[in-house]
Structure 1
Amino acid sequence: MAYSAPDSKMNLSAGLASVGTAALLVALKAWALWQTEALSVAASLADSAVDLIISAGGLAAILYAAKPADDDHAFGHSSAEDLAALGQSVVILASALIIAISAIMRLIEPGAHVLRAQSAGIVVMVISACVTGALIWWQGRVARATGNKVVAADRLHYVGDLLPTLGAIAALWLSRTFGWGQIDSIVALIAAALMLMGAARIGLGAWNALMDRAAPDPVIEQIAEITRHWPGVRGFHDLKTRTAGAQIFVNLHIELDGDQTLEEAHEIGAALKRAILEAVPQADVIIHKDVWRG
């Protein structure tokens, strides 16, 4: 089942907003880094630069995944979301390691690194935090409405970006107020650790989907519960699910009374399918009808 037209428009709006926001943040933080030479700002800039690459790839994945099924892709193109999310996790991992190594090298250097133009840097980073917060709010709304994994993963990136931004603000303020230059590298290390955890979470989810992992247990139990109590269904078996992007593919065998007409059997199966789709809107449901043997 492909995304509805309203859901596709929401996904597209989130992708475009993400790319535009990332480009703005890169420009703002590049200027702040040039003015302050703060490694915490560099960490936040690197995170935003990664976000820009990821957001562009995510937008492409959203556009591709929205394509309807065709002769070569009978189950649609939603796995593109998982491929994009897996690629996102790899890029985040690499950037986090670079930031961590840079922070450690600065910490072991003799003498504290002196930051410059802290006030200007604080202003820029505050603006960046406000812009990022607005994007996170919109992406969260879209992800809840459509279930799109690329939007959800992109939102996690920006939540992760917001924390280093706030850390950079704190580092610049502490450096200006108390002359604590080394706090900058410590904040950068914390930001790198958060990025690593986010990369692991996103990558694992995408990997599981690409390996045809079953839907979450509560979803499977919800489908089973609907089927178990559906009028006319004497039993069911071989309930199988797999995920791809935001979609859940459901394959189900139901057992029906063999004395009823084909039309009656079809109506029971069709009504059950409608009920499952109402409970799990992004599902693609195939129901096989077997004769109940008692």
Structure 2
Amino acid sequence: MMANGGNDRLDEPAETEEPDDFSAELEADERGFFAEPRQRPKAAAKATQDGKESPAPEQHYHGHRERLRARFRDHGDTALADYEILELLLFRLIPRRDTKPIAKALLDRFGTLAGVFGAEAARLTEVKGVGEAVATDLKLIAATAHRMLKSELKGKKVLASWSSVVEYCHAAMAYETREQFRILFLDKRNALIADEVQQKGTVDHTPVYPREVVKRALDLSATAIILVHNHPSGDPTPSRADIDMTKTIIETAKPLGITVHDHIIIGKEGHVSLKGLRLI
């Protein structure tokens, strides 16, 4: 794992233990997700030599959190680096820790924000400071983003929204660690009827059965389909098997009035269209 810049450390000192009643309350809602942080009880007061009491100092990152929120509120996301966007989100998921080193560690490990949100939950928890609850919430946010992209396609003429199709497929599949074979089913207006992952395979192979592809299209009354699969290696270059499989599906579907518009291969480094390469 790459070292964090500056003085950021993952092994931040533990905060002063909270009173039992506050700990119990926090355990019931450990993340305060998308809500303002709870007002924490003041730590035990420190007695001075003259008998007066003074409150314990706030943790160093509390002021930083408010400043970062203010920058986002006043100037939007363009005023923040990627790690700061992630840090701002982690404020809500991990309210009692300095989240800057965790945000930087996630980006060091997975490379980009897309890589963070595309990573499997089990891999996210390998980063110090990220537990199962936080990993689940990060995946929930990723799923919400995918649904937003998909909603832009639902009922629209897909061939007229090709960049949206590619963007959606890339978000859904580029960072998967195993191959997936996805099918977009279209009606006679080329509007999206359904989007389904038909098969999941290994790191470099997914079994595809042309008759099952065509049967599912008939079940949905689809008149056209777009085939999509990912290459976990990151390189979307089609293999000979990819090309041959696509041609077999085309030959099986054509007599039944089902058109295969394209086969898109998704990789972290981009995408490839077999039709664009004149391979089908």
Q: TM-score normalised by the shorter chain: which range applies?
A: under 0.3
Q: Could you say which structure has the higher strand fraction?
A: 2
Which is bigger in relative contact order (C-alpha 8 A, separation at least 6)?
1
Q: Could you say which structure has the higher helix fraction?
A: 1
Q: When the two structures are superposed, what TM-score results if normalisation uses the length of structure 1?
A: 0.26
Q: When the two structures are superposed, what TM-score results if normalisation uses the length of structure 2?
A: 0.27
